[in-house]
Amino acid sequence: MKIPPFKEINPPDKFGYWTNKKTGEKFGGQYISSLLVPNLKRVEDGFFKAMKDKKFLKELEEDLNTFIGVQTPIHFSKTLTELAGGEKKIGKIYLKRTDLHTNHSHKPISAYACCKLAKYLGFKKILTETGAFQNGRAVASACASLGLKLDIYVGANDAKKLAINKDISALHGARIIEVHDSTKSLLPAMAAALRAFQSEPDSMYVVGSVAGPMPYPLMVRTFASVIGRITKKQFKNLVGKDPSTLFAVCGGGSNFSAIAYPYYKSKKPDLYAVESAGDGIKTGRHGSTIGGGGKMGILLGMQSKVLLNGENVAESFTAASGLDFSSIGPEVAYMHSIGRVKFLTTTDLQAKKTFMMMARKHGLICAIEACYVIFAAIKEIRKRKNPRENHLIHLCGSGEPNVAQMMDFMKKQK
């Protein structure tokens, strides 16, 4: 299938804000030191130029089709349909198999596209940040294939964890730099990558999510929306209409916007974003920006909802590294503020149990992140009790990097 071309249906204003006209809240913007202004301008101008360059877009499409493998199937899940109550009660549940991409998650699309853009603009080196090396691995693979150097910034605590994705990033030739600031996790790693971007004008920063200063939230969702563009067409071909509901997990929001973007302006499907409630929202140990009552704040160059600890950004807690982020991309926060997206939460324990269920009953090793969305979706679908509905869940990644963690869980369960 040809990848449906990108259409801008939800543009920010010229300063990079999505504004809720009822409340006056502004999301996005470019909150950076003046030293970063020229670098971001170069990326922003280059991005808009590339999006109009037919040759660049054609090459990118070919690479996404044949190198990343973006034409993944939509699978009708009898198991989940039965689990939720059966076709006669709840309709049908489908899974979008994004786990089948090269590097097994949604990240490789925007990672590859951003690196391709960097090469197109003449940058020789990439800077990025990572938590569990999902983004690190995706960017490392892209850089290796495009002949770019790469520095990956990772929080010192995250770097200590044994991770297959970390080893794969190293095998691809990435230089891994540990960050010892503050909480030694993803947030300070991202701040460190932004600071490095300030010092290295010949390098381009690649963000792992739809977060950061403009143009990053716009650029990442534009590239990542390939998933949604394909899904929308595919689902119509398969079922004859758009889905009734769409469920995707939401840490920073790249996963959610990747699949939901083409539906932002239409009435259907009902959009659900699922956050990690960690040990439970009430315990305070969670990664749920919206569900945990995040406030408006300014961090990492953007204005959005943030979990705060006094005047500082709070640490998030979750078993899923991909959801370990104390904020949320500005466009997703805006879509929530205007009521287009409903937010749900799943605890770590519920997600782990769902992982085991998917492994045992469905024959799929899903990324732990995807298990948060599967659990919340089934709960919500049961409540809707409508046999005429078709539900779509974004199975955003493979669980191979979670194997060691889940073996521990399985042993403790016995």
Partner 1 sequence: MWIWRAKRCSNDGLHEKTKMSELNKLFKERKKNKKSSFIGFVTSGDPNYKSSKEIMKEMTKYCQVIEAGVSFNTSTSDSPIIMEANDRAIKSGMNMSKTFKLINEVKKETKTDTPFVLMTYLNPIIVYGIKKFIRSCQKTGIAGVIIVDASLNSPEEKFIINGLTKKNIGYIKIISPTNSEKFIQSSIKNCKNSWIYITSYYGLTGSKNVNIQNVRKLVKIVRKYSKDIPIGVGFGIKTSKQIKDVSKYADATIVGSAIVNKIKEGTENGKYGRNLATFIGSYLKKLTK
Quick one: 51 or 308, whose CB is closer to partner 1? 308
Window of 99-107, 165-173, 176-184, 333-341 that interacts with partner 1 by CB under 8 A: 176-184
Residue 124 within binding range of partner 1, rule CB under 8 A = no
Q: How far is the CB of 251 from partner 1 (least distance, A)?
A: 16
Quick one: 274 or 306, whose CB is closer to partner 1? 306
Q: At what angle do helices 216-224 and 330-337 cross, to 10 degrees?
A: 80
Q: How far is the CB of 177 from partner 1 (least distance, A)?
A: 11
Residue from 3, 12, 30, 390 binding partner 1 (CB under 8 A)? 30
Q: How far is the CB of 134 from partner 1 (least distance, A)?
A: 21
Window of 141-149, 242-250, 286-294, 302-310 that interacts with partner 1 by CB under 8 A: 302-310
Which letter does DSSP use for residue 105 in this model? Answer: B
- The angle subtended at Cα 288 by Cα 176 and Cα 365, nearest 5°, is 65
Report CA-CA distances (Å) from 61 to 5, 173, 396.
10, 25, 20
Helical segments of 85-127, H only: 87-90, 107-120
- From its phi and psi, is residue 91 left (phi > 0), alpha (psi between -120 and 50) or beta? left
Residue type for position 24: G
Residue from 12, 29, 208, 278 binding partner 1 (CB under 8 A)? 29
Residue from 74, 111, 152, 194 binding partner 1 (CB under 8 A)? 194
Quick one: 117 or 191, whose CB is closer to partner 1? 191
Footprint on residues 261-300 left by partner 1 (CB under 8 A):
295-300
Footprint on residues 36-55 left by partner 1 (CB under 8 A):
36-38
Quick one: 25 or 369, whose CB is closer to partner 1? 25
Residue 181 within binding range of partner 1, rule CB under 8 A = yes
Q: How far is the CB of 190 from partner 1 (least distance, A)?
A: 8
Window of 28-36, 73-81, 115-123, 361-369 that interacts with partner 1 by CB under 8 A: 28-36
Which letter does DSSP use for residue 278 in this model? Answer: T
Strand residues in 113-244 grouped as ranges (E): 125-130, 149-155, 175-179, 203-206
Which helix (H) or strand (E) segment holds residue 17: the answer is: strand 17-19
**371, 355 Cβ separation under 8 angstroms:** yes
Residue type for position 14: K
User: What is the widest separation between alpha-carbon atoms in the chain?
Assistant: 60
Residue type for position 299: L
CA 380 to chain CA centroid, Å, is 21
Quick one: 188 or 228, whose CB is closer to partner 1? 188
Query: How many CB atoms sit inside 10 A of residue 64's CB?
Result: 23
Number of chain positions touching partner 1 (CB under 8 A)? 36
Residue 145 within binding range of partner 1, rule CB under 8 A = no
Per CB under 8 A, residues contacting partner 1 are: 15, 26, 29-38, 181-183, 187-188, 191, 194-195, 198-199, 201, 295-301, 306, 308, 310-313
